[in-house]
Amino acid sequence: MELWQEMLRQSVDSGKDLVERFDFDPELAERLNKLFHIRINPYYLSLIRYPNDPIWLQCIPNGKELDEDGLPEDPLAEDSHSPVPSIVHRYPDRVLFLTTSQCSMYCRFCTRKRKVGDSTKINMKYIQDGIDYIAAHSEVRDVILSGGDPLMLTDFMLEKIVSGLRAIPHVEIIRLGTKMPCVLPQRITPKLCKMLRKYHPIYVNTHFNHPWECTPEAKKACEMLADAGIPVGNQAVLMKGVNDNPDVMLELVRKLLTMRVRPYYLYQADITKGANHFRTPVSVGLDIMDKLRGHTSGLAIPHFVIDAPGGGGKIPLLPQYVIGKNGSQIILRNYKYDIYTYPDVEEEVAAPTRTVERKYTRKKSRPAKVYEPDKVQV
């Protein structure tokens, strides 16, 4: 057994563990354990400094998860964009490929709570169907391995999938969405890197949310991936009490660059049942973006996005930099709120006129399902 597998076996993973190690009320611990899986490996556990700190909030269950919030289980309507159980095909040229239900840690804010940890919903038996679907759809040029966490698979299984995808001529790039460099950096081994580099172009997107996660172990894992020629990006989720603060986010994105990780997305927390306590006002995210752009390396700036409820995909949001128009002059402000006037180029009035046809359709959000505790499947 490899070290990372041994570490996983030593995880805090039951209601009983919560009672013994964190003094949970036994009845609450049991209800939480039934609602969504618990798994905190000894490495990630060691990052906790005090109760309810930003690390704790991400991994230790909280009674608020049981709130009757009436929020949807599948806020991004992924299941309705699933032509086969292992594929989410929302965008024209790329797909998510769900390869395992397992995660090295079960994040309390997870959007896919309804599925992860449940091997009846994400299962190896659907993998061949996924590869067949991709092979039959020549428009798919980008495949994102997700789950669960694809690095929960053994190197052997992962290689079978990655080599299977590489054999499909129209698949140009393969991405891995994995939390391992952050939550279990021991998973990034020389053997894994040596295997992956045979199948370039490979990209990794990982998931750091707080500067305390940027440890020497995590740095080493990211450097090993980068040394194997794999560009590493980061997708963070904005969360109340974890990172909803410009100074914390500034420290995080700077540290990531020193670990050779490029900040990619900053997500507004999804409207997921049992995770409402993490949501922040959109203005908090915009304020953070305002305090990053111009104040630190452009390389460190992620795109702030909302994943549209109901499955419209990611929608980018920016603070307002265009503050007005004066004839052909555009009035702009910079990162210090100094005002600048930019003389725009007058549009030529030539026939045929270029028109941008705009088709806005309003998607009705689906009625929220009512949360019924005794119908929850675990």
Q: Which is nearer to ligand PLP, 88 or 162 (CB)?
A: 88
- 307 is annotated as an active-site residue: yes
In sequence order, the 6+-apart residues with CB closer than 8 A to the CB of 40 are 11, 12, 13, 59, 60, 105
Identity of the amino acid at 154: T
Phi and psi angles of residue 231, each rounded to the nearest 5 degrees, phi first? -65, 135
Q: Residues 8, 47, 87, 116: which binds ligand SF4 (CB under 6 A)?
A: 116
Contact 308, 270 (CB under 8 A): no
Q: Residues 24, 97, 106, 265: which binds ligand SF4 (CB under 6 A)?
A: 106
Site residues (vs ligand PLP, CB under 6 A): 88, 90-91, 94, 96, 144, 314
Q: Residues 54, 148, 233, 285: which binds ligand SF4 (CB under 6 A)?
A: 148
Site for ligand SF4 in 172-201 (CB under 6 A): 179
- The DSSP string of 63-131 is GGGGS-----SSTT--GGG-SSTTEE--SSSEEEEE--S--SS--TT-TTTTTTT-TTTS-GGGHHHHH
What Rg value do the Cα atoms of the chain yield, rounded? Answer: 22
Of the residues 39, 112, 114, 219, only one is catalytic, namely: 112
- 293 is annotated as an active-site residue: no
- 338 is annotated as an active-site residue: no
Q: How far apart are CA 322 and CA 303, in angstroms?
A: 18
Q: Which is nearer to ligand SF4, 103 or 196 (CB)?
A: 103
Contacts of residues 241-245 at CB distance under 8 Å and 24 or more positions apart, as own/partner, are 241/52, 241/54, 241/57, 241/278, 242/54, 242/57, 242/58, 242/209, 242/210, 242/278, 243/54, 243/209, 243/210, 244/280, 244/284, 244/288, 245/288
Site for ligand SF4 in 67-86 (CB under 6 A): none
Q: Which is nearer to ligand SF4, 112 or 279 (CB)?
A: 112
- 90 is annotated as an active-site residue: yes
Q: Which does residue 112 bind out of ligand PLP, ligand SF4, none, counting CB within 5 to 8 angstroms by kind? A: ligand SF4
Q: Which does residue 179 bind out of ligand SF4, ligand PLP, none, counting CB within 5 to 8 angstroms by kind? A: ligand SF4
Least distance in angstroms from the C-beta of 114 to ligand PLP: 15
Least distance in angstroms from the C-beta of 123 to ligand PLP: 19
Strands 94-98 and 232-238 turn out to be unpaired
Of the residues 34, 220, 314, 333, only one is catalytic, namely: 314
Q: How far apart are CA 264 and CA 253, in angstroms?
A: 10
Q: Which is nearer to ligand PLP, 113 or 219 (CB)?
A: 113
Q: Which is nearer to ligand SF4, 112 or 273 (CB)?
A: 112
**Which residues are tagged catalytic?**
90-91, 94, 103, 107, 110, 112, 270, 307, 314
The residues of the shown chain that bind ligand SF4, judged by CB under 6 A, are 103, 106-107, 110, 112, 116, 147-149, 179
